[in-house]
């Protein structure tokens, strides 16, 4: 056994899934090595044997097997870690082989977090190359540029950037690439990546819009945005994230204009209702009851008769309970999730009203709000709109209608102040005319 | 949407904040007939200064107001611009106090103390100002749409109570009001000096200015004539919040709110916040650029100015004093509206001549 084999063997002594397999060819020993967990060993061995039958000498076999011949020991080790098969002969010739990998990623499946109605049903998976393939299949132009970077300290993670040359402003791409090259820490989550595009500590809006539907990513590319892929992350990251992503999906365009307009307007109403409804209830019951018409005001007052909690506490209790229910349903396995729905429905809808802890009107308001919040596109967007409603609720409980409207304005101003690399979050589209060359 | 259009919309929104506060009261108290003539003269006066100002600024395409004053000399900039920042602060303080009283009246928040509303409005305005001009420009688009929808709704519903005979006689009995101090105060109710805060090459063009002027004049006419059509001149002079009282006369059975003044109140809130944010931003910009501070110091000066404005608004004792102080601060502002455009224009002309002579040599 040669020195090289010994060296590699000692290096991987503590790796149980590392194998060294000895084959004999023309009275020369050949060692195949790699990870059992990453390489399909049986098929790879078969392939090497078939190649051996076709080759006359050991040298010819090595040439047939691979282009990467006689490399240094470090390269061999890193190739093994990356999941390649390394072949070393007795006489210390070596080769790095691309082999049949173990199937470690799932195949193309339906989207799990989004629901395209009457649209294409394939979704991105964990494998970056497969994801990029999905994009290339839909966007077969030579102007679709792709570059990838390895970033990280402990483990190198691959980040791929895709854009359409001539549409995306080159200054933007340069800025992104510069930022990516500066990354020195490990990228473990989206938030780690997000921080590098400008830190937003107290603002729940990300720089990246997450989508798992290929047509959404393709349309974003066509609208001169950049699509990033992080390996082992099953979604495309559209950069920059814009306000209208919350209301617009590409699938809407499959409907006639009027219908898509209606659907989008419903989403806007949904976002507004989520923000306003709880605050409006508190404002009209505790601060400004006289703004309602007298019969409505009496109805509201009657529905709150005998309820010991103040409107703010009452609403806050219900809001937190509903948010807890939603979180619980996400956490639990699907088989138990329905139980929570049922129990939650009974407790929130029936028991709390009958116990006179909250008013029936509030239950209606909360139900409407939860439904409205679900119309928003994207899980993160829905979450952040749901989190912003608490601010309006508190403002409305102090200042009534004034607080409600000012709170809305405040949120509007806050969102308008956000920019990603000088591209405003509130922009409808970018770049503006004339900049796209 | 280009930045120029956004700028025009921001000026429109800020003008709304000025117009609804005291404008209709001052107009109706100055003349008893032919109010539109007064509004028209007022508009002409404004467009005259606007054009002079724009012309003057155009001589320095890549400079803003403060750069031009600094070019004239450090002391000139100091003497004119620092007091200007304080005048803006006083306008914010007194104006917000008056607005918070009016908002309390409109939304019937009788249990809420005025200082709480004042603090809230000052906070939001200062926050907006600190976020900078870009934020205000972008947000102003949405606010412009919302407020105009609300105003349109109010205007359309109010027409049910109109009695057009109230506006007669159409022609003014005399042009005596042109020499009234109130008429001069009215000039101060205009954010036109904002033009100078953005370098001329990125600023609005003449067409934008014309549309802004048309919109503002239209809003002024609405604010004057809505109460006039409903109550008539004799009643109007006795009322305090004219537009609010006028909108309050409408009673719609199908509507869920008992008083639709809340919509007027909402648009007033939006106007106020943006107007005062703009004024505070201007004050901050003046201090930062005049003294050549670092950019992050602007937010400190905005915080200092807004605290000062809050204290000013807090310590005005009564309704009468509020009105007097608002009139006083806008009066001084009116004086600046006359002085600053003229200085810029004259300096621009001199500067150009000097350059021409220099080039000939």
Rounded Cα gap, residues B259 and B252, in angstroms: 8
Q: Give pLDDT, residue A269.
A: 93
Cβ separation B262–A416 shorter than 8 A: no
Q: Are residues A237 and A259 in the same domain?
A: no
- What share of chain A in percent tops pLDDT 90? 7
For residue A433, pLDDT beyond 60: no
pLDDT at A431: 58
| pLDDT recorded at residue A436 | 37
Number of compact structural domains in chain A? 3
Confidence of residue A435 (pLDDT cuts 50, 70, 90): very low
- CB B50 within 8 Å of CB B195: yes
A352 and A385 both lie in a single domain? yes
A50-73 exposure pattern, b = at least 16 Cβ within 10 A, e = fewer: ebbeebeebeebbeebbebeeeee
- Same domain as A366, residue A299: yes
For B103, name the nearest residue in chain A, comparing CA atoms only.
A402
| CA-wise closest residue to A147 among A130, A122, A165, A126 | A165
- Same domain? For A318 and A204 the reply is no
Is A40 in contact with A76 (CB distance < 8 Å)?
A: no
**Domain termination residue (choose one: A197, A215, A241):** A241
Is A403 found in the same domain as A307? yes
- Residue B189 phi/psi, 5° resolution? -80, 60
Question: What mean pLDDT is predicted for residues A323-341?
Answer: 82
Identify the band that residue A392 occupies on the pLDDT scale cut at 50, 70 and 90. Answer: very high
CA distance A280 to chain B (A): 12
- The whole-number pLDDT of residue B1 equals 60
Q: Is A109 a domain residue? A: no
- Compute how many other C-beta atoms are within 10 angstroms of the C-beta atom of residue B116: 15
A344 exposure class (CB count in 10 Å sphere: 0-12, 13-18, 19+): middle
Quick check: B288 and B295 in contact, CB under 8 A?
yes
Regarding whether A386 and A296 lie in a shared domain, the answer is: yes
Contact residues, chain A, for B254 at CB < 8 Å: none
Domain's final residue, options A241, A267, A290: A241
Calpha distance A50→A45 (Å, rounded): 9
Give the model confidence (pLDDT) of A255-285 as tens digits.
Answer: 889 998 999 999 999 999 999 999 999 988 8
Is residue A93 in some structural domain?
A: yes
Token pair for A293: 């018409």
pLDDT at position A430: 65
Q: Which domain holds residue B157?
A: 3-360
Query: How many domains does chain B fold into?
Result: 1
Q: Which of residues 261-290 of A touch B (CB under 8 A)?
A: 287-288, 290
Distance, in angstroms, between B260 CA and closest chain A CA?
9
Looking at chain A, how many residues does it have? 437
Residues facing A39 on adjacent strands: A101
Radius of gyration, CA atoms only, chain B:
21
Q: How far is residue B159's CA from residue B148's CA, in Å, rounded to a whole number?
A: 16
Q: Domain limits at A64?
A: 3-97
Per-residue pLDDT, averaged over A67-85, amounts to 79
Q: Assess whether pLDDT exceeds 80 at residue A348.
A: no
DSSP string of B250-261?
Answer: ---TT-SBS-TH
Same domain flag for A202 and A263: no
Are the beta carbons of A105 and A126 closer than 8 angstroms? Answer: yes
Task: Tell me whether residue A432 is in a domain.
Answer: no
In a domain, A144, yes or no: yes
At B173 the pLDDT is: 76
B112–A292 C-beta distance less than 8 A = no
Indicate whether A103 belongs to any domain.
Answer: no
Q: Going by C-beta distance under 8 Å and a sequence separation of 6 or more, which residues neighbour residue B33?
A: B168, B169, B170, B171, B172, B173, B233
How far CA A249 is from CA of A210, A219, A261, in Å, comes to: 12, 10, 11
Structure tokens at B42: 């007022």
Both A301 and A407 in one domain: the answer is: yes
Residue with tokens 């690399």: A421
- Å between A405 CA and nearest CA of chain B: 7
> What is the bridge-based pairing of β-strands A423-424 and A419-420?
antiparallel
| Residues A382, A347 share a domain | yes
CATH number at residue B177: 1.20.1740.10
Instruction: For residues B164 and A302, give the distance between their C-alpha atoms in angstroms, rounded to a whole number.
Output: 43
Low-confidence ranges of chain B (pLDDT < 70): 1, 361
Backbone φ and ψ for A126, nearest 5 degrees, come out as -80, -25
Tell whether A262 and A392 lie within a shared domain: yes
Query: What pLDDT does A429 receive?
Result: 67
Interface probe, candidates B2, B123, B139, B147, chain A, greatest A C-beta count within 10 A = B139
Chain B residues within 8 Å of chain A (Cβ atoms):
1-2, 103, 107-109, 112, 116-117, 120-121, 124, 127-128, 131-132, 134-136, 138-139, 142-143, 255-259, 262, 265-266, 269-270, 273
What pLDDT sits at residue A437?
34
In a shared domain, residues A141 and A267: no
Q: Within a domain: residue A426?
A: no
Long-range contacts of A130-139 (CB under 8 A, 24+ apart): A130/A105, A131/A229, A131/A236, A132/A160, A132/A162, A132/A229, A134/A108, A134/A214, A135/A162, A135/A214, A135/A217, A135/A218, A135/A221, A135/A227, A135/A236, A138/A214, A138/A215, A138/A218, A139/A164, A139/A218, A139/A221, A139/A222
Query: Residue A329 class from Cβ within 10 Å (0-12 exposed, 13-18 middle, 19+ buried)?
Result: middle
Using an 8 Å CB-CB cutoff, list chain B residues near A275.
none
Contacts with A277 from chain B: Cβ below 8 Å: none
pLDDT the model gives residue B212: 87
The residues with which A229 forms a beta bridge, in sequence order, are A160, A236
3-state SS, one letter per residue, for chain A:
CCHHHHHHHHHCCCCCCEEEEEEEECCEEEEEEEECCCECHHHHHHHHHHHHHHCCCHHHHHHHHCCEECCCHHHHHHHHHCCCEEEEECCCCEEEECCCECCCCCCCCCCCCCCCCCCCCCCCCCCHHHHHHHHHHHCCCCCEEEEEEEECCCCCEEEEEEEECCCCCHHHHHHHHHHHHHCCCCCCCHHHHHHCCCCCCCCCCCCCEEECCHHHHHHHHHCCCEEEEECCCCCEEEECCCHHHHCCCHHHHHCCHHHHHHHHHHHHHHHHHHHHHHHHHHHHHHHCHHHECHHHHHHHHHHCCCCCCCHHHHHHHHHHHHHHHHHHHHHCCHHHHHHHHHHHHHHHHHHHHHCCCCCHHHHHHHHHHHHHHCCCCCHHHHHHHHHHHHHHHHHHHHHCHHHHHHHHHHHHHHHHCCEECCEECCCCCCCCCCCCC
Look at residues A74, A97, A120 and tell me which one is the last residue of a structural domain: A97
CA neighbours closer than 13 Å in the CB half-sphere of residue B92: 36
**pLDDT higher than 60, residue A434:** no
Between A63-77, A157-171, A181-195, A350-364, the lowest mean confidence (pLDDT) is in A63-77
For residues A6-28, give the mean pLDDT.
80
Distance of alpha carbon B120 from alpha carbon B27, whole angstroms: 30
pLDDT at A1 over 70: no
**Chain B residues touching A405 at Cβ < 8 A:** 266, 269-270
CA B360 to chain CA centroid, Å, is 44
How far apart (Å, rounded) are the C-alpha atoms in residues A304 and A289?
Answer: 12
Under 8 Å between Cβ of B228 and B166: yes
- Give the integer Cα–Cα distance in Å for A91 and B224: 101
Rounded to 10°, the helix A401-416/B261-290 angle is 40
Question: For residue A234, is it within any domain?
Answer: yes
Nearest to B199 by CA among B58, B97, B5, B294: B58
């Amino acid at each position: 056994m040669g020195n090289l084999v010994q060296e590699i063997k000692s290096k991987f002594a503590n790796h149980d899934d590392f194998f060294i397999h000895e084959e004999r060819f023309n009275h020369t020993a050949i060692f195949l090595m790699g990870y059992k967990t990453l390489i399909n060993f049986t098929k790879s061995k078969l392939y090497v044997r078939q190649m051996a039958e076709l080759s006359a000498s050991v040298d010819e076999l090595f040439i047939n097997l691979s282009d990467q011949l006689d490399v240094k020991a470090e390269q061999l080790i890193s190739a093994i870690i990356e999941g390649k098969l390394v072949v070393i002969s007795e006489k210390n010739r070596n080769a790095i082989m691309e082999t049949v990998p173990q199937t470690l990623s799932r195949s193309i499946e339906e989207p799990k977090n989004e629901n395209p109605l009457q649209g294409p049903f394939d979704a991105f998976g964990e494998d970056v190359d497969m994801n990029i393939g999905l994009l290339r299949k839909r966007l077969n132009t030579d102007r679709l540029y792709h570059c990838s970077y390895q970033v990280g300290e402990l483990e190198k993670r691959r980040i791929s950037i895709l854009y359409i040359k001539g549409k995306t402003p080159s200054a933007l791409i340069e800025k992104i690439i510069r930022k990516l090259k500066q990354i020195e820490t490990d990228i473990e989550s989206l938030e780690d990546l997000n921080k590098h595009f400008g830190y937003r500590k107290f603002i729940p809006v990300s720089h990246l819009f997450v989508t798992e539907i290929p047509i959404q990513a393709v349309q974003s590319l066509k609208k001169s945005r950049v699509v990033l892929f992080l390996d082992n992350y099953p979604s495309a990251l559209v950069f920059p994230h814009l306000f209208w992503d919350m209301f617009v999906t590409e699938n809407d365009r499959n409907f006639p204009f009027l219908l898509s307009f209606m659907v989008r307007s419903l989403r806007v109403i949904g976002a507004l209702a989520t923000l306003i409804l709880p605050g409006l209830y508190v404002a009209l019951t505790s601060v400004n009851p006289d703004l309602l018409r007298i019969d409505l005001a009496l109805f509201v007052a009657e529905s709150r008769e005998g309820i010991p909690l103040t409107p703010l506490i009452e609403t806050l209790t219900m809001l937190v309970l509903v948010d807890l229910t939603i979180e619980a349903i996400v956490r639990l396995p699907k088989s138990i999730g329905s139980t929570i729905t049922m129990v939650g429905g009974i407790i929130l809808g029936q028991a709390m009203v009958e116990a006179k802890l909250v008013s029936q009107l509030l239950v209606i308001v909360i139900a409407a709000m939860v439904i409205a919040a679900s119309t928003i596109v994207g899980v993160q967007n829905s979450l952040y709109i749901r989190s912003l409603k608490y601010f309006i609720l508190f403002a409305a409980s102090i200042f009534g209608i004034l607080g409600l409207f000012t709170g809305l304005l405040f949120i509007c101003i806050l969102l308008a102040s956000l920019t990603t690399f000088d591209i405003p979050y509130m922009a409808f589209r970018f770049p503006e005319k004339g900049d796209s060359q | 949407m280009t930045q120029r259009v956004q700028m025009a919309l921001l000026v429109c929104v800020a003008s709304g904040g000025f117009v609804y506060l005291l404008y209709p009261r001052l107009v109706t108290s100055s003349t008893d007939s032919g109010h539109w003539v007064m509004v028209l003269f007022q508009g002409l006066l404004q467009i005259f200064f606007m054009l002079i100002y724009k012309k003057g600024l155009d001589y320095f395409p890549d400079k803003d107001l403060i750069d031009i004053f600094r070019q004239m000399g450090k002391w000139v900039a100091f003497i004119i611009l620092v007091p200007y920042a304080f005048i803006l602060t006083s306008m914010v303080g007194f104006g917000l106090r008056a607005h918070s009283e009016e908002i309390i009246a409109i939304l019937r928040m009788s249990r809420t103390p005025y200082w709480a509303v004042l603090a809230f409005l000052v906070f939001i305005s200062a926050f907006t100002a600190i976020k900078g001009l870009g934020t205000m420009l972008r947000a102003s688009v949405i606010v412009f749409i919302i407020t105009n929808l609300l105003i349109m709704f109010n205007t359309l519903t109010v027409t049910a109570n109109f009695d057009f005979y109230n506006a007669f006689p159409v022609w003014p009995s005399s042009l005596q009001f042109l020499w009234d101090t109130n008429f001069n105060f009215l000039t101060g109710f205009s954010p036109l000096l904002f033009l100078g805060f953005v370098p001329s090459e990125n600023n609005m063009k003449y067409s934008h200015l014309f549309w802004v002027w048309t919109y503002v004049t239209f809003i002024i006419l609405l604010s004057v004539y809505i109460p006039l059509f409903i109550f008539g001149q004799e009643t109007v002079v006795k009322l305090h919040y004219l537009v609010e009282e006028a909108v309050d006369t409408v009673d719609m059975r199908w509507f869920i709110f008992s008083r639709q003044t809340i919509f007027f109140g909402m648009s007033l809130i939006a106007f106020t916040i943006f107007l005062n944010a703009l004024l505070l931003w201007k004050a901050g910009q003046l201090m930062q650029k005049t003294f050549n501070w670092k950019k992050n110091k602007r937010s400190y000066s905005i915080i200092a100015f807004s605290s000062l404005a809050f204290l000013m608004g807090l310590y005005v004792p009564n309704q009468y004093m509020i009105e007097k102080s608002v009139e006083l601060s806008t009066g001084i502002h009116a004086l600046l509206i006359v002085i600053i455009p003229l200085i810029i224009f004259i300096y621009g002309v001199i500067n150009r001549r000097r350059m021409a002579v220099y080039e000939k040599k």
